[in-house]
Amino acid sequence: MRIDGAQRDDHDGGPPKWVWGLVAGLVVLALLGAGAWWWLAGSKPVAVQTTTARANGQGASADAVLQATGYVTARRMATVSAQMTGTLTEVLIDEGVRVKKGQVLARLDDTGLRAGLAAAEAQLRSSQATQNQLRAQLAQAEADARRQAELAASGMTTRQSQEQTATAVKAYAAQLEAAQRQAEVLQAQYAQARVNFDYATVRAPFDGVVTARAAQVGEIISPLSAGGGFTRTGVGTIVDMDSLEVNVDVNEAYIAQVKPDMPCEAVLDAYPDWKVPAHVVAVIPSADRGKATVKVRVALDQKDDRVVPDMGVRVSFLAAKPKAQQAVVPGALLPPEAVVLRDGAQVVFVLSENHVDQRVVQLGADVGKFKLATAGVKAGDTVVIAPPAELKQGSTVVSKE
């Protein structure tokens, strides 16, 4: 009987081929199971606690007595209007334009006023001509009176003629006096017509910035509302930017800590990294019963074009004036628990939607109890506090309540 090579190999003491196939299948199943477990474990959301990175210099002063919020207000603001009712023929302003005191902002139709001014001027000139005529007649009457007096002294004229010339002098003098008084009346009427004519020109009452343009050419404006609200009452609004200050509401339970001239720091909501030195101007002696607050006026010690009316402000009332500080190093402030060591590098986990991004950060000098990250993370990023060991790049997370 002949035994082939395959049968010889199966009976040479080694396991049969089907055993090796079974082992290979079991290994594949084990790898698949491990991969499935790893995928399921990796996709399970990790519960984490988060916080927001702040910009360096954003925190309150260390010696702040208390804080309050309020708004920027203008102590000098005016809605400019004409002193008469008329139709606008020119509007020479727009929002954001700076104007000087006395600058022309708008003009009204002055046709009727111009005619009235011309008539008053003509009457005044006519009165002046009448005065000149009466002065000449008075001078002639006075000369006639002197000649009659000389003739009467020599007996060459009658007493009646002398009296008539003297009466003529008095009559012309009286007429001249009346003409002068009439001229004064006409002069006053002319001045009034000039004032009325000037009312047709709207001028800036002070230096400032136009914050609103309220009327257009062709509209009727009036210092008083008329026509059921269809008449404009102003051309525009001007704000004196040098008069800007902050009004804050302080809880009445803490108002005793606020004193006039008390140093402050104001932080605008629009510029959270910028601290503006300020001081208390006055505590308004009136409380709001509904809010249980007292209004406090705060003056800004630095003027800047970035400060505009109605901006939100947070004011820190200080126990003493802040000392001169060095320039603030740009970066983000992080709680120490947010920075962990992974693979020999300092990293933080930044939340992006429901996943985390592992970032390597560069740390500067500590700022109080915070870590200063100068690179790798920016202010406003949401970072994980005390990241667990299983947290890694791309992990799905859920915030703890």
* Separation CA 396–CA 315 (nearest Å): 40
50: in domain: yes
pTM over the 0.75 mark = no
Strands 86-91 and 208-213: unpaired
Tell me what pLDDT residue 302 has: 86
- Together in a domain, 299 and 364: no
- Together in a domain, 294 and 256: yes
- Together in a domain, 86 and 225: yes
- Together in a domain, 271 and 281: yes
Q: Which residues in the chain land under pLDDT 70?
A: 1-44, 57-63, 225-231, 322-328, 401
DSSP 365: S
Tell me what pLDDT residue 161 has: 85
Per the structure, how many domains does the chain have? 4
* Separation CA 6–CA 60 (nearest Å): 87
Tell me what pLDDT residue 1 has: 43
- Together in a domain, 151 and 94: no
Tell me what pLDDT residue 117 has: 92
- Together in a domain, 98 and 218: yes
Q: Which residues of 352-378 are buried (b: 16+ CB within 10 A; e: fewer)?
A: eeeebebbebeeeeebeebbbbeebbe
* Separation CA 147–CA 291 (nearest Å): 95
- Which structural domain, as residue segments, surrounds residue 144? 111-198
6: in domain: no
Domain of residue 265, CATH code: 2.40.30.170
Check if the beta carbon of residue 59 is closer than 8 Å to that of residue 325: no
291: in domain: yes
Domain of residue 380, CATH code: 2.40.420.20
347: in domain: yes
Kindly report, residue by residue over 76-111, the tens digit of the pLDDT. 999 898 888 889 999 999 998 999 999 999 999 999
DSSP state string for 159-213: HHHHHHHHHHHHHHHHHHHHHHHHHHHHHHHHHHHHHHHHTTEEE-SSSEEEEEE
- Together in a domain, 269 and 231: no
Check if the beta carbon of residue 258 is closer than 8 Å to that of residue 274: no
Domain of residue 102, CATH code: 2.40.50.100
Rg (CA), the chain: 47
Would you give the distance in Å from CA 371 to the centre of its chain? 35
Instruction: Scan for tokens 């109890």, then name that residue.
Output: 369
Tell me what pLDDT residue 328 has: 64
Decide which of 216, 239, 262 is a domain's last residue: 239
229: in domain: yes
- Together in a domain, 272 and 340: no
* Separation CA 256–CA 285 (nearest Å): 12
* Separation CA 187–CA 128 (nearest Å): 10
Check if the beta carbon of residue 280 is closer than 8 Å to that of residue 258: yes
- Together in a domain, 213 and 360: no
Closest CA to 186 of 264, 126, 268: 126
314's CB contacts (< 8 A; 6+ apart) are 67, 68, 69, 266, 267, 269
Check if the beta carbon of residue 294 is closer than 8 Å to that of residue 252: yes
4: in domain: no
Instruction: Count the alpha carbons within 13 Å of 401 in the hemisphere toward its beta carbon.
Output: 0
277: in domain: yes
Decide which of 269, 296, 318 is a domain's last residue: 318
Decide which of 198, 229, 260 is a domain's last residue: 198
Tokens for 2?
């002949």
Tell me what pLDDT residue 7 has: 47
- Together in a domain, 84 and 225: yes
100: in domain: yes
- Together in a domain, 394 and 350: yes
Check if the beta carbon of residue 141 is closer than 8 Å to that of residue 168: yes
- Together in a domain, 85 and 234: yes
Tokens for 161?
């003629």
